[in-house]
Amino acid sequence: MTEIILEPVLHRNKKQMLVKFPYNNKLIQLIKTIDGARWSQTHKSWLIKDGEQNVKEIYRLFEGVAVIDLKNNIEHANIGSPSPTNLTDEAIQKIEKFKYWLRSKRYSESTISTYTDALKTFLRFYNTKTVHEIGNDDIINFNNKYILANKYSASFQNQVVNAIKLFFRKIENTNMDIGQIHRPKREKRLPNVLSKEEVKLILNAHGNIKHKAMLSLIYSCGLRCGELLSLKPEHIDSNRNVLIIKQAKGRKDRIAPLSIKIVEMLRAYFVIYKPSFYLFEGQTKGQPYDARSLQQVLKQSLEKVKIYKPVSLHWLRHSYATHLLENGTDLRYIQEILGHSSSKTTEIYTHVSTKNIQKITSPFDYL
C-alpha cells in the first residue's frame, strides 16, 4: 500500500503541510478535492493548509488506499491512528524476512510494497507483543479497534488480511489458525464509464498527434496507463493488426486487436516523432513519457470539451470494455483482451452496460 507522508513546512511565510507520495493517478485525483491543494514545484510535492481539519480530511480521503505517516508532526500525531507508531526490532526483522520471501517468489514490487505496508500497520498496533504471541483474537480486535474505529474501507481491511494470512502461513510458525481468519464482505462498486460520444470528444480534443495517439491507444486497446508507457515500437504488429502487451499486471503477456484507424494514426505519429526506444517518449530520448504528464494531457482534453466529470485514464479502459460488451463481444474475449485472471472481474461490466437496460420501458411512461 502506498505511503503518504504529511510534513509541516513554512512556505511563503505561511504554515502549510507537504503531502508526499509516489506518482499515483488515483491519489492525485483525491488530493485535488481538498480546498486549496496545489502542486509545489519547489518542494516536489502537494501543498495544503496546515490544520487539524485538513489532516482529518486526508485520513478520510485516503482511508483504505494509503498509509499515512505524520512525519515530525507531533501536533497532529493522534489524529486518525490510535495505534503505537513504532515497530519493534523483532517486527522489523520479520517484515524484512517476509519481503525477502516475496521477492524470491517473484511477486511484483507493487504487491510487495502493498503487503509489507499492510503488515507494518498490523504489527505497529501490537508492538507490545512478540509476533509469536499474536493470535486470532488479536486480528478481530485489530479489525474493530483500528480498521472500523478509523472507518477504513473493506478493501483496506482485505489487503491487511491477505498480508497477515500469507505472513503467518509462510514466515511465522505460530498456533494461529489461518483458516479462521475471515475477510470482510466485498464492496460492490461499478466502474466509471463514458458514453461513446464523450470518448470521441475527448480523443479529438487535441490537435497534437502524439497526445491524441496516446489517449486513443488507451481506449482502443483497453490499456492501463503503465502498459501504454511501457510499449515499444516492436509491440505494434501491423501485419496482424494486434498490439502485444508484454509483462503486464500479474507478469502476463497478452495481445489486443488493433484498429486500422489506430495503425494509420501511429504511422503518422512515428514519421513525425521517430521514437528510439519506447513508443511514447518524454523530453529525453529513450525515456518513457511521464505518467503525470499523460494525466495532464487528459485533463486538457476534458477542459477543451467542457466535460466536468473527474475522469481518469482508467475510465477509458472501463469505457472500452463496456462498449465492447454493448457491441456484442463475448465476455470471454473481453477478459482475455483486458488481461483479467478471473472472469468475475470482467463480469462487472455487465452491470454498467446499458444495451439491454435501455430496452426496458419505465412504467412512468404509461402514466
Domain spans in the chain, listed from the N-terminal domain onward: 2-76, 89-180, 196-351
Confidence of residue 74 (pLDDT cuts 50, 70, 90): very low
Residue 246's SS3 state is strand
**224: annotated active-site residue:** yes
Q: Which residues contact 354 (CB under 8 A, 6 or more apart)?
A: 326
| pLDDT, average across residues 124-128 | 85
Per-residue pLDDT of 199-237, as tens digits, reads: 999 999 988 999 999 999 999 999 998 899 999 999 999
CATH topology of domain 196-351: hpI Integrase; Chain A (1.10.443)
Examine the residue annotation and report whether 318 is marked as an active-site residue of this protein.
Answer: no
pLDDT of 100 strictly over 80 = yes
* pLDDT classification of 1: cutoffs 50, 70, 90: low
For the residues 77-104, what does the mean pLDDT come to?
A: 74
Residue 277 pLDDT exceeds 50: yes
- Hey, what CATH class is 89-180 in? mainly alpha
pLDDT at 234: 94
**3-state class of 306 per DSSP?**
coil
Kindly state the cell numbers that stand for 265: 494514426
pLDDT at 81 over 60: no
Task: Give the range with max mean pLDDT: 81-95, 134-148, 259-273, 334-348.
Answer: 259-273
Reply yes or no on whether 349 is catalytic. Answer: yes
Grid look-up 503503465 returns 226
Q: How far is 278 from 294, CA to CA, in rounded Å?
A: 15
pLDDT of residue 72: 45
Rounded Cα distance between 162 and 151, Å, is: 19
User: Is-catalytic flag, 292?
Assistant: no
186 is catalytic: no
Q: What is the mean pLDDT of the chain?
A: 82
C-alpha to C-alpha distance for 331 and 358, rounded to whole angstroms: 20
Find the catalytic residue in 43, 224, 235, 304: 224
- Using CA atoms, how far residue 82 sits from 29, 319, 346, in Å, is 27, 41, 38
Task: Name the DSSP letter for residue 356.
Answer: T
Residue (of 120, 114, 65) closest to 92 by Cα position? 120
